[in-house]
Chain A
Amino acid sequence: MRSIRMVTLTALLALGVAACGGGTTKDTVSSASPAAPASSAAAKADPNAPIKEGLKLAFLPKQINNPYETIVDKAGIEAAAEFKGEAKEVGPSDASASSQISYINTLTQQGHDAILIAANDANAVCGPLQEARAKGIKIVSYDSDAAPECRDIFINQASSEEVGRSQVKLLADMIGSKGEIAILSATANATNQNTWIEFMKDELGKPEYKDMKLVKVAYGDDDDQKSFTETQGLLQAYPDLKGIISPTTVGISAAARYISGSKYKGKVVLTGLGTPNQMRQFVKDKTVEKFALWNPKDLGYLASFAAAALASGQITGAEGETLKAGKLGERTIGAKGEIILGPPFTFEASNIDEFDF
């Protein structure tokens, strides 16, 4: 027992010494901190520069073997062929915060022209990305952004505002802008969900939706079972419910599964953000008419063109520059180097079979 006492004592002593020495806190550093920005701002964009041939791009998804990310990256790799570049996909098997780091290092050593990353953690990838940029490698983040000072451009799949507002419009069209509605979200503190819900509420405040009433926001915690039970609870608690929006892929598929097997099928309209493979059977059995998500193929395509344009000096990532993105046309770079893919894509019976993810 003596050894324990020794350990505790030493630790407490160390603690005391440290506590007395004043110290570095969040407030003392926050003013001086942000990492030195890369000097790329000095470079000038030449919109007429041709896309270089033989550019080497690498896609680094959150994790490999994730069907959604595979589609994005595959489309990006195919796009590279259009401008005579070569692209590959590498990545970790788990989506933890730190697992992408060694891949960034490897890609830097291999000497690519651009790295395209769906960051697992906005800050954890920052240091290695800065090192890559110091060696002249361009960084495009897509799907999930890295800290803005660590990449050149972020391809945002859809603006939060557009997602929120378009979900309300989608539902309003199907229920004639009339009746009680509910939202089935993920967790109560999920940032993206809450931003979307704020915009939904704002949209509902417009006069054309005065007959639509949001009665409840339920949380299924992105857990299939919980989302299923929450849907059941919603429908029992609000017998006059006309529609449900579930802006989460787990939520919408669980809700669809419950409704398709219940007496509410055909009476309650369900929409939200879902993936075609999860929703296919419910679209076919007419539980769900329409739902939305961005088109992952376009996301990969756009990211690939952005990387090529950066590496060729057509753009630098500054606000107001124009990106020429092949068949997708032109996109303007917004604040903080963000490019928005476009409005969410609506999936319905007529087009769902074109997608496999």
Chain B
Amino acid sequence: MAKVLRWDVMVGVLLVAVFAGGSFTSPGFATIGNLSFALGDLGEIALIALTMTMLVVAAEVDLSVASVLGLSSALVGALWDGGMAIETIIPLVVLVGALCGLVNGLLVTKLGLPSLAVTIGTLALYRGLAYVVLGDKAVAQFPREFTALAVDDVPGTFIPYPVALFVLLAVVVAIVLHATGFGRSLFAIGAQEQAAFFAGIRVKRIKLLLFVLSGTVAAFAGVVFTLRYGSARADNGMGIELAVIAAVLLGGVDFDGGKGTLGGVIAGVLLIGLLRNLLMLNDVSTEIQSIVTGLLLIISVLTPRLITALKPALSRRRTSTDQVGPESALKGSP
């Protein structure tokens, strides 16, 4: 019973339902070409969602990811245009992403600022830097061997390379998050930072690492994005931080931290992507598409809370002497 009520499981069920429904109603949906495209189109969002999941589990958030992606894209363009080798550009740009993440992390951990505020600031800052780097130019003509890596499918499958990379990384993150001490400490930090600190978890260092990772992955996603579209621009990826966070929340990760599964997030990413694809195939207008995604997001945040609110009420009816649960008592303390 409790298992079925878990939101991440419900998202998985919903995903299967959308897929099955789509296959029956829309002839163009369950084709290799379409699925390969739909998956590839989710590549960057899925990659960034991995690190975002860890951050949100630890009760932090990084809103600057899309701007780091844009800055990375602008840098790729400017350096490529300047004649630098792409093999040098990619690690360099990823390093810049790590620095961006480091700045976020230091502002949060050293100065104790809330990450929501810090990363709203750097969201504007990094996007601004992207425009400084490339202006409103677009740089194209990247080498085919490299754009192929971002577009083509792994031979013999319909999985594009970036998605294959995502699958590998997802396995790593799933193991780290759900089967190691480090992963458990993220949940501990998210549930009760003070308690985690007193339990000997190096809260600040871990958070700093998470932000650096987030910037690194976002910058790498910027490289993928640039090569996939074959066009480097400062406005690339504008606004995808919202898609990432939507997928994370839809996947059942608690925005207050401490709860969530990576499986849920992956189901969330796929659900948003496939639903959008399906709506488009049926000529549903953009406005309705965003209304559907928005409603889905609200439901996903609301439902788990309703469930938790209902659970004690249900059990209280059985044992009327029950006190306030230990969890809510803990949440009240600083």
Residues B208 and A3 in contact, CB atoms below 8 Å apart: yes
Q: Which residue of A lies closest to B287 (CB)?
A: A93
> Contact partner of B85 among A4, A24, A35, A98, CB < 8 A?
A24
Q: Which residues of A contact B31 (CB under 8 A)?
A: 109
Given contacts A22-B85, A25-B83, contact A3 B209 (CB under 8 A): yes
User: Are the C-beta atoms of B138 and A123 separated by less than 8 Å?
Assistant: yes
- Point out the residues of chain A lying under 8 angstroms from B205, CB to CB: 1, 3
Interface-facing stretch out of A26-34, A202-210, A284-292? A26-34
> Cα distance A97–B235 when bound, in Å?
8
A21 lies within 8 A of B87 (CB): yes
- The reply to whether A126 and B230 contact each other, CB–CB distance below 8 Å, is yes
Q: Chain A residues near B136 (CB, 8 Å)?
A: 187
Q: Does chain A have a CB within 8 A of B84?
A: yes
Say yes or no for B37: interface residue by CB 8 A criterion.
yes
Q: Knowing A102-B277, A109-B31 touch, does A88 contact B233 (C-beta < 8 A)?
A: no
Given contacts A23-B86, A33-B144, contact A97 B138 (CB under 8 A): yes
Residue of A nearest to B212 (CB): A7
A23 to B79, CA, bound (A): 13
Q: Closest approach, in angstroms, between the C-beta of A123 and any C-beta of chain B?
A: 4
Q: How far is the CB of A91 from chain B (nearest CB, A)?
A: 7
Kindly count the residue-residue contacts between A and B in the assembled complex, taking CB atoms under 8 Å apart: 146
Nearest chain-A residue to B146 (Cβ)? Answer: A24
A18/B95 contact (C-beta < 8 A), A93-B290, A101-B229 known: no
**Shortest beta-carbon distance from B169 to chain A in Å:** 16
0/1 per residue, A45-66, Cβ < 8 Å to B? Answer: 0000000000000000000100
> Are the C-beta atoms of A33 and B283 separated by less than 8 Å?
no
Q: Let me know if B88 is at the binding interface, CB within 8 A.
A: yes
A328 within 8 A of B: no
In the assembled complex, B122 has its CB within 8 A of some CB on chain A: no
Q: Tell me the nearest residue of chain A to B202, going by C-beta.
A: A3
B residues less than 8 Å from A64 (CB atoms) = 285-286
A251 and B225 alpha carbons, distance in the complex (Å): 34
A30 touches B86 (CB 8 A): no
A4-B212, A64-B286, A127-B230 known; A33+B28 contact, CB < 8 A: no
Nearest residue in A to B86 (C-beta to C-beta)?
A24
Query: Out of B29, B209, B231, which one reaches A124, CB within 8 Å?
Result: B231
B87 with A11: CB separation less than 8 A: no
Total interface residues on A, CB under 8 Å, equals 52
Asked if A121 meets B233 with Cβ closer than 8 Å, knowing A21-B87, A109-B33, A111-B28, the reply is: yes
Of chain B, the residue at the smallest CB distance from A64 is B286
In the bound assembly, the distance between CA atoms of A24 and B94 in angstroms comes to 18
A127 x B151 contact (CB < 8 A): yes
Q: Is B280 an interface residue (CB 8 A)?
A: yes
Report the nearest A residue to B279, measured CB to CB: A106
The residues of B that contact A128 with a CB separation of less than 8 Å are 37
Q: How many angstroms between the C-alpha atoms of A263 and B65 in the bound complex?
A: 51
Q: Are B88 and A18 in contact (CB under 8 A)?
A: yes
Contact (Cβ within 8 A) B85 A23: yes
CB <8 Å contact, B233 and A97: yes
Contacts of A21 in B (CB 8 A): 87
Q: Tell whether, in the assembled complex, residue B280 and residue A103 are in contact, meaning their CB atoms are under 8 Å apart.
A: yes
How far apart sit A25 and B85, CA to CA, in the bound complex (Å)? 4
CA distance A18 to B290 in the complex (A): 42
In the complex, whether A43 has a CB less than 8 A from a CB of chain B is no
Interface of chain A residues 48 through 99 with chain B (CB within 8 A) = 64, 88, 90-94, 96-98
Q: Is the CB of A15 within 8 A of B229?
A: no
Q: Is the CB of B91 within 8 A of A122?
A: no
Choose one: B87, B91, B141, B238; the contact of A96 (CB below 8 Å). Answer: B238
Known: A19-B88, A23-B85, A97-B236. A121 touches B231 (CB 8 A): yes
**Which residues of B line the A interface, CB within 8 A?**
28-29, 31, 33-34, 37-38, 41, 80-81, 83-88, 90-92, 94-95, 98, 102, 135-136, 138, 140-141, 143-147, 151, 205, 208-209, 212, 216, 225, 229-231, 233, 235-239, 276-277, 280-281, 283, 285-287, 290
Interface pairs A-B: 3 shortest CB-CB: A23-B85, A109-B28, A123-B140
Q: Could you jot down 14 A-B contacts, CB within 8 Å?
A: A1-B205, A3-B205, A3-B209, A15-B91, A18-B90, A23-B86, A24-B87, A26-B81, A29-B143, A90-B285, A92-B286, A106-B28, A124-B138, A187-B136
